Amino acid sequence: MFRPVPSKIDFVQMEKDLLAWWDECGIVEKYLIRNDGSGKRFSFVDGPITANNPMGVHHAWGRTYKDLFQRYKTMQGFEQRYQNGFDGQGLWIEVNVEKDLGMTSKTDIEDYGVDKFVELCKERVRRFADVQTKQSIRLGYWMDWDDSYHTMSDENNYTIWHFLKVCHEKGYIYEGRDVMPWCPRCGTGISHHEIVTEGYKDITHPSVYVRFPLVDRPGESLLIWTTTPWTLTSNVAVAAHPDLTYVKVKVKGTGPDGGDETLYLVKGRLEALKADYEVIEEIKGSALEGLRYHGPFDELPAQEGVEHRVILWDEVSESDGTGLVHSAPGAGEEDYALSKEYDLPAIAPLDEFGKFVDGFGELTGLSVFEVARPIHRSLREKGRLYRLDQITHRYPVCWRCDTELVFRLVDEWFISMDELRHDIAEVTKKITWIPEFGMGRELDWLRNMDDWMISKKRYYGLALPIYKCADCGHFEVIGSEVELEERAVEGWDKFEGHSPHRPWIDEVKIACEECGATVSRIKDVGNPWLDAGIVTFSTLGYRNDKDYWRKWFPADLISESFPGQFRNWFYSLLTMSTALENTEPFLANFTYATLLDEKGEEMHKSKGNAIEFEEGADKMGVDAMRWMYSGTNPASNLLFGFGRADDTRRRMLIPLWNVYSFFTTYANIDGYTPDTPAPPVGERAELDRWIISELNELIRTATASLDRYDPQTAVREMDEFVERLSNWYVRRSRRRFWKSEVDTDKVAAFATLHECLTTLVKLMAPFVPFVTEEIYQNIGRNGGSESVHLEDWPIADESLIDTRLDDATRLAMRLSSLGRAARSKAGIKVRQPVAKVAFKLRTDAESDLLEQVAPQVRDELNAKEISVLDDVSTVANLEIKPNFQLLGPKYGRDVGQVVGAISKAEPSEVFRIVSANQQVELGEYTLEPDEIVVSATDKEGFSVIAEQGYSAAVTTEISAELELEGRARELVHQIQNMRRDAGFDIADRITTYYTGDSGIDEVIAAHEGYIRQETLSDDLIKSAPPEEAHASSHRINGLDAALGVVVNE
RNA sequence: GGGCCAAUAGCUCAGCCGGUUAGAGCGCAGUCCUGAUAAGACUGAGGUCCCUGGUUCGAGUCCAGGUUGGCCCA
């Protein structure tokens, strides 16, 4: 006996019950060790999830992929490491801890104590790692949760030290000075990666036009434009395009003294002038080179000794501004690059908090965000301000705290990419990228990237093991904790026992190998992508257990969402593996796009369209979520929401459940168990052989799909299989299960359906681990494993695949559909038998196929006879008409004769030719098939539907005999409904009472046996029903009948 | 400015190596079926497969150019 299965199921409750059961029976533990020592290995290395917040439904998408690929490989017997990773160092964490503590700047951290602050950071990581672990378990993600790695671990940090040491030995590490985007609040540089990922906003800034008076041409000024007036303090040059045309103009009455003035600007931007002007002269940009001008803030000490002049630059544009670009090398990126070319001084105005440093007069000590007014005032007083507007433009902001970025001249540490760039590209090309265009994206990034900036002036993160001597300037990189201890000259005792984080690590000092001075570590921490990029080494024992590392490196698979990762995680993995081993760190990379809401918009908590993971899990059920995730095209954005989840459940999970429920119900009635001997597949009914053939094809295609990391195709095939199983196999087989006696055919049907369900749940188990386990536990165990997830992946039996039978059955489905359409058109319901349905097929071969499956079609369409038509004209009136739209242009005034020829032709003959898509010869004209329009109207007595070369014709005349039979079926239908309404068990035997029109007697007289058998009526009694009967009145195809049913003892 | 990706029904998407007459789900309108069905089936309306050229016996599919959108780089 199988456990009875309700037809309605609360999937969410079922999932929770199974989580408890798995836990109780230790199934996950058994799964994790299932393949220990197996000869086959599959190495998956997890990309660490940032343990800074609860995980979202977008993480659940990625984790579903990770889980399903690993589950698939587990079922196939591959030994695996099931190690999840948490990412927990860096600015993300710091910012959240700062928020929790109500901090607003770096000095707050110093005041609070770096040691306590770092401990809080670690604690936050541990807290959210726990949250994410619980969420992942709810998702059905089976990992070795006690063995998750952390990027903040000592091993991870020290392995990065080793990497940096290797880089240093190869001469890649250098300290560079550069102008970079800087967040004044976080007090740290922001890499370009971070800006392009999420860091732009529309911001309104002043749009300032300023006069730079020419030294050698009194009364004449360059007109420049800027949206960052604070940078004017550090101006050293003006750039002009060598090839653009500039103009010298006289402007009426705009001078500082109210008189006329002479200005220079690019010809294409004359609209920037605020009054009438007269062009005095046109000048090529190159002619402006070397002109000296008075800077806007020459009075400041910081400007002392600077000689301002015009330089040339190809990047100057005419699309905004004045074509004369103010250049401040200490406060702008391109400006800095240009200054190196022209050997200009760089004046750096800001400290790390964005405040003006000494030498800037009244501005010194003010924040960059406070100086707009004093600067405007100063310019106005000096007669330099020409015009002040506002402009709203895209401007970079800090991706964590939304503070506007500034550009600042800083000293940072870099890994040079000059040599590595090519090697990384070669490694990249050896990897399988899914989708394929991933490789192109990675290579594109590698071509364009700058040197890797690895330092950050923060507190909680990798302690960069760089020791730079303050005395002689020499620097070294320490490669391990052992080396540090050996080199330590003080502070080791204070550090020992702590993680290699600030502030403890900085107790340790070493002696400079050049000059012997005591050297401290630089204050900087590392770029967090160092942390994540090292994991194919750090988590696989690279430093201490090379054999283990060789066993699991490189990873067979990694998988992450692609936005951002090509220049982040993938890049750092590739770089580190190339530098250390010059080989690929992973063999395949399965990447996927972005999760959006159902309308295609980004999910944001503030927008209110975000779905929390728990909410999704509890409302949709995670199986529905997982099926939806798995079935999507990973290269396209996924539109995710409750509507789609409902859809998925209704289309897949409920039909599957219904088939399962159907099976258990009837198996229990008949006492069928998997042990019941069943005939071999070859001796079973055609339907059985067909669905078994489909099943084995499914195994084959699903396996092939997953082998190429294509879950979407596997999902689609499974969807189709369930559709066929439910809507053809079970539908057509119902009678076989329903009949009273248990014969060989019935056992074969049970065995077939059981085989389909138990195999299907194995195939689906990696995708939807809950519902498959539920079904497996009830009907699939049978001496197999303790859990479906400990089962072997099915292997297709090619000998059971019968493609001819597949074709025949699909033809039967198609013709049935067409026949139903023809009945529908004639208004004859399927319960009413018809004499005949005739089909026109496309090929002769199909006639043979139809012969094979004719009984299925006949039964499905409730027809007494099925036949094949050679000629549609026997059942339909054909008319042929000229297609004037085509014939008109082609024949011009001869079209009348063509029409005449068509009208004389024999329609059925023309129809035959046109159907074959051949030219029609009509007298002297040869017509193309589409030049003739053929239409068919039903002949008396037939209802015809034609579609794609097939036709179905249903006889519409219902004889008295057929009418009687139709009534019998209607009567059965009504009695069945009454049984259900009365709450009888499916197997209850009953007595049926009836009274009514005399026509009812006729029906019963003719079909008593049939009615009794179908309704399980032992007796069919003509009388009013007794009191206790379930009774009601009906119209049976125009006849009145009163019916009553009673269960027999 | 450069690179990558996409464009198919009202919406969301399939469409494998180029092969007859382009499909599904949802939505809408209507009908039917059901003792597995909080289901299902059928019908109808709805398509310039973004445009223009090319290759080919044959192009939604391949090539070139363009348009629009997205992502990335500068």
Report ipTM (2 d.p.).
0.82
pLDDT one-digit tens code per residue, A48-73? 999 999 998 999 999 999 999 999 99
CA of A786 to C1' of B39 (A): 32
Work out the pLDDT band at A633, boundaries 50, 70, 90: confident
- Could you give the CA distance from residue A465 to residue A422 in angstroms, rounded to a whole number? 27
pLDDT one-digit tens code per residue, A480-505? 999 999 999 999 999 999 999 999 99
Selected residue with higher pLDDT from A445 and A846: A445
CA of A602 to C1' of B8 (A): 25
What average pLDDT does this structure show over A92-102?
90
CA of A444 to C1' of B65 (A): 24
Work out the pLDDT band at A719, boundaries 50, 70, 90: confident
Amino acid at A297: F
What average pLDDT does this structure show over A291-304?
94
Quote the crossing angle between the two packed helices A744-764 and A686-707, to the nearest 10°.
10
- Could you give the CA distance from residue A409 to residue A177 in angstroms, rounded to a whole number? 7
pLDDT at A916 over 80: no
Q: Nearest nt to A977, CA vs C1'? A: B35
Radius of gyration of chain A (CA): 40
Amino acid at A464: L
CA of A556 to C1' of B23 (A): 36
Which residue matches tokens 């530098």? Answer: A579
Residue A102, Cβ density class (10 Å: 0-12 exposed, 13-18 middle, ≥19 buried): exposed
Which pLDDT score, from 0 to 100, does residue A636 have?
84
CA of A960 to C1' of B8 (A): 51
SS3 label, residue A231: helix
Q: Nearest nt to A600, CA vs C1'? A: B12
- Could you give the CA distance from residue A257 to residue A814 in angstroms, rounded to a whole number? 91
CA of A412 to C1' of B2 (A): 29
Residue A166, number of CB atoms within 10 A of its CB: 17
Which pLDDT score, from 0 to 100, does residue A577 have?
96
pLDDT one-digit tens code per residue, A1009-1024? 888 887 888 888 888 8
The distance of Cα A15 from the centroid of its chain, to the nearest Å, equals 24
- What percentage of chain A carries pLDDT values higher than 70? 91
Nucleotides of B under 7 A from a protein CB: 2-5, 12-15, 20-21, 23, 25-26, 30-43, 71-74
Work out the pLDDT band at A892, boundaries 50, 70, 90: low
The distance of Cα A140 from the centroid of its chain, to the nearest Å, equals 19
Element (DSSP H or E) covering residue A717: helix A711-724
What average pLDDT does this structure show over A619-631?
91
Selected residue with higher pLDDT from A563 and A379: A379
pLDDT at A195 over 70: no
pLDDT at A841 over 90: no
Q: Nearest nt to A441, CA vs C1'? A: B4
Q: Nearest nt to A987, CA vs C1'? A: B35
pLDDT at A646 over 70: yes
**CA-based max dimension of chain A:** 125
Amino acid at A907: P
What average pLDDT does this structure show over A462-471?
96
Spatial neighbors of A920 by CB under 8 A, at least 6 apart, are A905, A910, A913, A914, A926, A927, A929, A932
pLDDT at A987 over 80: no
Span of A119-128, A363-372, A743-752, A891-900 with lowest mean pLDDT: A891-900
SS3 label, residue A835: strand
Work out the pLDDT band at A405, boundaries 50, 70, 90: confident
Residue A305, number of CB atoms within 10 A of its CB: 5
Work out the pLDDT band at A935, boundaries 50, 70, 90: low
Using the C1' atom of nucleotide B38, identify the protein residue whose alpha carbon is closest.
Answer: A8
Q: Nearest nt to A719, CA vs C1'? A: B24
Amino acid at A68: L
CA of A712 to C1' of B15 (A): 14
Span of A287-291, A411-415, A586-590, A987-991 with lowest mean pLDDT: A987-991
Tokens of residue A1000, six digits: 């009812």
pLDDT at A887 over 70: no
What average pLDDT does this structure show over A789-807?
91
Work out the pLDDT band at A706, boundaries 50, 70, 90: very high
- CA distances A324 to A298, A318, A380, A558, A731, Å, are 19, 9, 20, 50, 79
Selected residue with higher pLDDT from A994 and A466: A466
CA of A650 to C1' of B45 (A): 25
Work out the pLDDT band at A896, boundaries 50, 70, 90: low
CA of A748 to C1' of B33 (A): 26
pLDDT at A198 over 60: no
Selected residue with higher pLDDT from A491 and A947: A491
Using the C1' atom of nucleotide B71, identify the protein residue whose alpha carbon is closest.
Answer: A563
pLDDT at A654 over 60: yes
Spatial neighbors of A324 by CB under 8 A, at least 6 apart, are A212, A222, A223, A224, A225, A238, A239, A240, A246, A264, A265, A266, A310, A316
pLDDT at A153 over 80: yes
Spatial neighbors of A753 by CB under 8 A, at least 6 apart, are A659, A663, A729, A730, A733
Q: Nearest nt to A633, CA vs C1'? A: B13
Selected residue with higher pLDDT from A537 and A899: A537
pLDDT at A899 over 70: no
What average pLDDT does this structure show over A515-531?
94
Work out the pLDDT band at A21, boundaries 50, 70, 90: very high
pLDDT one-digit tens code per residue, A209-250? 999 999 999 989 999 999 889 999 999 999 998 888 999 999
pLDDT at A934 over 60: no
Using the C1' atom of nucleotide B3, identify the protein residue whose alpha carbon is closest.
Answer: A444
pLDDT at A302 over 60: yes
Q: Nearest nt to A1014, CA vs C1'? A: B35
pLDDT at A361 over 80: yes
Work out the pLDDT band at A152, boundaries 50, 70, 90: very high
- Could you give the CA distance from residue A405 to residue A743 in angstroms, rounded to a whole number? 81
Which pLDDT score, from 0 to 100, does residue A888 have?
55
- Could you give the CA distance from residue A549 to residue A564 in angstroms, rounded to a whole number? 28
**What order do you get walking across the sheet with A188-189 strand by strand?**
A188-189, A173-183, A406-415, A452-453
- CA distances A688 to A128, A428, A432, A711, A811, Å, are 52, 49, 41, 28, 16
Tokens of residue A252, six digits: 């009426």
Q: Nearest nt to A948, CA vs C1'? A: B21
The mean pLDDT of chain A is: 87
pLDDT at A78 over 70: yes
Q: Which residues make beta-bridge pairs with A182? A: A189, A406
CA of A632 to C1' of B58 (A): 32
Using the C1' atom of nucleotide B5, identify the protein residue whose alpha carbon is closest.
Answer: A437
Determine phi and psi for A807, rounding to 5 degrees.
Answer: -60, -45
Phi-psi region of A491 (alpha: psi -120 to 50; beta: other; left: phi over 0): left
Q: Which residues make beta-bridge pairs with A388? A: A208
Q: Which residues make beta-bridge pairs with A1035? A: A1040
SS3 label, residue A353: coil
